[in-house]
Amino acid sequence: MDTEKPLTYEDLQAVAEHIRTKTSYRPTIGIICGSGLGGLADSVKKADILEYSTIPHFPESTVPGHDGKLVIGELEGKPVVCMKGRFHSYEGYPMWKVTAPVRVMALLGVKTLIVTNAAGGINSTFNKGDFMIIKDHINMVGMAGKHPLVGPNMDKFGPRFNSMERAYDAELGKLVRTVGKDIGLSDTIKEGVYCMVSGPSYETTAELKLLQCIGADAVGMSTAPEVVVARHAGLRVLGISLITNMTSINAQPDDNVVTNHEEVLETGKQRAEDCQRLVKETVKRMT
Give the residue numbers annotated as catalytic, written as ranges.
Answer: 35, 66, 88, 90-91, 118, 221-222, 245, 261
How many angstroms separate the CA atoms of 22 and 199, rounded?
Answer: 35
With beta carbons less than 8 A apart as the criterion, state whether 211 and 122 touch.
Answer: yes
Task: List, in order, residues 6 or more apart from 256 with CB less than 8 Å away.
Answer: none
Q: Is the dihedral of CA 74, 75, 79, 83 positive or negative?
A: negative
Q: How many residues make up the chain in this entry?
A: 287
Four-point Cα dihedral 94, 121, 203, 150, nearest 10: 20
CA distance 174 to 134: 11
